[in-house]
Amino acid sequence: MPRRSILSAAERDNLLALPDAQDDLIRHYTFSEPDLALIRQRRGDANRLGFTVGAFKQTALKSHRN
């Protein structure tokens, strides 16, 4: 059975495309000092890594909505 596509090709390309400008890359894919302070509060390397991955996902999704 063929896989059903939820997004159109244009929507998928827009979602997965990286910004072209260096300023946009920095703004969308780096953490602010408050973000880093929140990450540092987690105990242990594994918890910090897991929290960071989740936070990065949220940051990346928000950047595509703006």
- Examine residue 6 and state whether it is found in any structural domain, yes or no: no
Q: In terms of residue numbers, what domain contains 27?
A: 19-65
Q: Which amino acid is at 10?
A: A
Compute the radius of gyration of the chain from its Cα atoms.
15
How is 24-57 classified by DSSP, letter by letter?
HHHHHHS--HHHHHHHHTSSSHHHHHHHHHHHHH
Q: What is the pTM of this model?
A: 0.49
Domains in the chain: how many in total?
1
Tens of pLDDT along 17-60?
888 899 888 877 788 888 888 888 888 888 888 888 887 766 65
Is 28 within a domain?
A: yes
**Residues 50-63 pLDDT 10s:** 888 887 766 655 55
Q: Which pair of structure tokens corresponds to residue 47?
A: 């918890």
Using CA atoms, how far residue 53 sits from 39, 46, 48, 49, in Å, is: 10, 11, 9, 6
